[in-house]
Structure 1
Amino acid sequence: MTTTHLIAVDSDACGPFRSAKVFIKLLRGISAWSKLRGARQVLVHVTTGTAIKQTDRLMRAGGGACLGGSYVVAV
């Protein structure tokens, strides 16, 4: 399992639509990196507490399943 503590995208610079696309691509890149190293899951910690509904929607769009305060993404 790969643990990711932070995936940050500057939404002020990119705007909400492009930020979401960049986030999903970064998540896919982390998944690809993890797969090469034999991991079967990526654990993404969500600790900011801001935009919870939007974060949930974004994580689920990236293939994540909620696990407590984090999300698990199958590789």
Structure 2
Amino acid sequence: MNMTSEPKISESEARKLQILFGKDVAELDKLLPLARQMHKESIFSDMPFDLPQLEKVVNDLKGETGYHGAVYVEYDGEPVAFAYFNFCPMMGSRKTWITVMHTIYIRSDIRSTPLGGYIWDRIMMAVRAWSAPRGSKGLMFNVVSGIAIEETDMVLRANGATHLGGNYFMRL
């Protein structure tokens, strides 16, 4: 994805997109295929998929507490992307609140295409629009799935993110 300028897609492609936010995302049937695919691609694919954890996410969204948000994207009727995030105090400063991007997943067959870049931009626009009225001071990205690490780094840096170190996983 070239994230230095807004990706361009045709009007006909844009019309094939359906983007849902917040409580409209809280349907297990919509999220399950993408969550399963993300799990298969992740470094944790050899571990059991945790359906109750996904159900908790869906229930948090249904609760509409204002602390959990989501974006879900379909292209031509097929699920292609989702993001799940929450609003919480920053570690070390309970007076400073941030939006923590728990999960962003764009399906592998479109991730590195102009359509994938366009979807990324739309997800980020939605997250910023959700975060700003809450007084969020910024977005913290959890990059813990092991999926497309170099590409994720490139996209985040191109969008102005500061690299703060990294997450590491050591098997026991």
| Match runs of 1:19-38 below 5 Å | 19-38=116-135
Alignment size in residue pairs: 69
The aligned residue for residue 112 of structure 2 is: 16
Normalising by structure 2, what TM-score?
A: 0.36
The aligned residue for residue 158 of structure 2 is: 61
- For the structure 1 residues 38 and 51, does the alpha-carbon distance in structure 2 shift closer, same or farther, using more than 3 Å as the test? same
Higher Cα Rg: structure 1 or 2? 2
Q: Tell me by how many angstroms 1:68 deviates.
A: 2.1
Deviations 1:6-27 (A, max 9, x none): 0111132x35222122113212
Structure 1 unmatched ranges of 5 or more: 71-75
Identity of aligned residues (%): 32
The aligned residue for residue 49 of structure 1 is: 146
Deviations 1:18-55 (A, max 9, x none): 21221132122212211111111111110122322211
Normalising by structure 1, what TM-score?
A: 0.74
Structure 2 unmatched ranges of 5 or more: 1-97, 168-172
Bigger mean CA deviation after superposition, 15-24 or 37-46: 15-24
Partner-residue secondary structure (3-state), 1:66:
coil
The CA RMSD over aligned residues, in Å, is 1.8
Tell me, in whole angstroms, the C-alpha distance in 1 between the residues paired with 2:111 and 2:153.
Answer: 18
Asked which structure has the greater RCO (Cα within 8 Å, sep 6+), the reply is 1
Which structure carries more helix by proportion?
1
